[in-house]
Amino acid sequence: MMTLAAALLATIPLSLTSPAMAAPTIASGDDISSENVLVLVLDDIGVDGLASYGLGSDLPSTPNIDALASKGVVFENAWSNPVCSPTRATIQTGRYPLRTGVGFTVTEYSQELALSEVTIPEMLKLTGTNIASGAFGKWHLGNSGNGGPSSPNLAGYDTYQGALINLHPPQNYFRYFKTNNGFAYASLKYVTSEAIDDARDWINSQRSQSKPWFAYVAFHAPHTPFHAPPSNLHSVDLSTAGLPKDDPRPYWKAMVEAADTEIGRLLSQISIDYTNTTVILLGDNGTHPAVIVPPFIPSQGKGTAYEGGVHVPFIVAGPDVTAPGRSNALISTSDIFATVSEVTGANYAPLSAAPGDQEGPNTLDSVSLVPYLKNPKTRSIRRFLWAEMFRPTNAPATIIRRAVRNQRFKLIMQQSPTAGSEMFFFDLELDPFEQNDLLQGAGLTPLQQKNFDRLTIQAAGVLSSN
């Protein structure tokens, strides 16, 4: 067993490049639909943060997200990546981080989303759908290597408006640099509300022209800095709370509620019609450790390959939902790409794509969720899920966190200068909080050994296919 583990760890590449995408298969014009798609991304929230999942405690009130869940399919086994930018790159491209090279938070000195990658708006253009595309809010995939403030537009979006990166000092939720199609200026509007205003105005302008649209709305909330949102946007009593740095949980709850309020306002002000619009809501990674409460574990939150770092909310409502429900299928944030392709009629298919198997030099790692929308009880198309982060991203990586799971078992593979190479193996059915590393026991049972071997082989397959 340990020989196999050592062999797998030896396959982890320390230098990553992103191959160009192969020419796509172009859909017939007869297949093009007029369906709209709205993607809503919350920042730093795992399944412990929303009442729709029935997990955790001391939860924020989110009636609009709850209403969306009641109309759609709630995916109970959705994975992101441990941190922000890698997940955002998977959403845009349908490809794993090891393929795009975006393995950690994008800065001026790390790997950006290469302009050679085919993004959702570019896919919609390549396939002749004539669907307008707009991105609003946080981007976090750009630096001078792909156009900086113009990177969302160069990545294919007709319109981009928002604060490009995290709101670090001197920026905050009430004072930040906003970018409008490449031009930056100071804004003093509450950033959560301004993203909704911009998305609403753009969507309504497309509707007034009877044009189908794809809108990507990425909130900064509830990412740090923790703060008190405008009081009309939340119901949390902050009068007895300490300072955000000392008592962050109440402020985090208020920020989630503010985002929920604004989601409700957007859906109302664009007169959402679920007969012609698919709405996808998800988190980009797990919850920040500072605001995690029992039974969830702060040390296994955002930034880790544990469930607390990668197990995120994922809800879809729209015309393909024949009966609302819950799905336990294995799904990934990369699956948004193929889902958008199918529901819009684009039917994009790059060469050597192998949905569910992730094989080939130009692989699209995305699987359409439409079968689950039509029947939430549909058996999982994916045999396994993959998540990862690595840094630095523009040099041989020295810190790597990767995970692969099937319906029951999960393998974590880590590498760092201090700890060296490590593996952890869990039975998620019996141990959902990953407290009992099966590799530390007296030995694996035949069932455990079979799944350990299978997961190591699947992980090696992904790593060798890049």
Q: Dihedral sign, CA of 200, 203, 207, 209?
A: positive
Predicted local distance difference test score (pLDDT) of residue 183: 97
For the ranges 27-31, 100-104, 192-196, 451-455, the lowest mean pLDDT is seen at: 27-31
What pLDDT is attached to residue 56? 84
Q: Are 356 and 383 in contact (CB under 8 A)?
A: yes
154: enclosing H helix or E strand? helix 151-154
Cis bond leading into 446, ω under 30°? Answer: no
Phi, psi of 388 (to 5 degrees): -165, 160
* Distance between CA atoms of residues 362 and 350, nearest Å: 7
Query: Is residue 388 in a domain?
Result: no
Question: What are the angstrom distances between the C-alpha of 28 and each of 121, 276, 328, 410, 444?
Answer: 18, 20, 33, 41, 52
Question: In this structure, are residues 347 and 25 in contact, taking their beta carbons and an 8 Å threshold?
Answer: yes
**Closest CA relative to residue 291, chosen from 241, 333, 334:** 241
Q: Are 278 and 317 in contact (CB under 8 A)?
A: yes
Do residues 336 and 452 share a domain? no
Strands, E assignment, 169-212: 176-180, 183-187
Residue 21: which pLDDT band, with cuts at 50, 70 and 90? very low
- Its domain, for residue 443, covers 1-16+397-466
Give domain status of residue 287, yes or no: yes
- In whole angstroms, give the CA distance from residue 124 to residue 354: 20
The answer to whether the CB of 284 falls within 8 A of the CB of 312 is yes
- pTM assigned to the model: 0.92
Boundary-marking domain end, from 352, 383, 414: 383
Average pLDDT for residues 378-394, to the nearest whole number? Answer: 96
**Structural domain contains residue 51:** yes
Measured CA to CA, the distance from residue 64 to residue 127 in angstroms comes to 34
* Same domain (yes/no): 7, 110: no
Q: What is the maximum alpha-carbon separation in the chain?
A: 67
User: Quick one: 327 and 345 in the same domain?
Assistant: yes
- Is residue 282 situated within a structural domain? yes
Instruction: Report whether 44 contacts 271 (CB < 8 A).
Output: no
Does one domain contain both 12 and 27? no
Contact 110, 393 (CB under 8 A): yes
Q: What is the pLDDT of residue 34?
A: 65
Q: Which residues pair with 277 in a beta bridge?
A: 36
Measured between alpha carbons, how far is 34 from 247 in angstroms, rounded to an integer? Answer: 47
Does 389 fall in a domain?
A: no
Residue 379 is assigned to a structural domain of this protein: yes
Percent pLDDT > 70 in the chain is 90
Find out whether 430 and 437 touch, Cβ atoms under 8 Å. Answer: no
Whether the predicted pLDDT of 357 surpasses 60: no
Residue 307 and residue 40 in contact, taking contact as beta carbons nearer than 8 Å = no
Spatial contact of 280 and 71, defined as CB atoms under 8 Å apart = no
Q: Are residues 197 and 270 in the same domain?
A: yes
What is the C-alpha separation between 242 and 237, in angstroms, rounded?
A: 11
Following DSSP, what letter does each residue of 398-440 receive, concatenated? SEEEEEEE-SSEEEEEEEETTTEEEEEEEETTT-TT----GGG
| CATH label of the domain that carries residue 426 | 3.30.1120
Does residue 355 register a pLDDT over 80? no
pLDDT digits (tens, 9 = 90+) for 296-329: 999 999 999 999 999 999 999 999 999 999 999 9
Domain boundary residue among 361, 383, 405?
A: 383
Mean pLDDT within 442-455: 97
DSSP H or E stretch at residue 44: none
244-254 pLDDT tens trace = 999 999 999 99
| pLDDT at 349 (0 to 100) | 79
pLDDT of residue 356: 45
Measure Cα distances from 275 to 72, 213, 317, 320, 367 in Å.
12, 14, 10, 8, 22
Q: What is the DSSP letter of 378?
A: P
Query: Residue 46 and residue 368: Cα distance in Å, rounded?
Result: 22
Looking at 330, 352, 383, which one is the last position of a domain?
383
Residue 33, pLDDT score: 53
**CATH number for 150:** 3.40.720.10
Domain count, the chain: 2
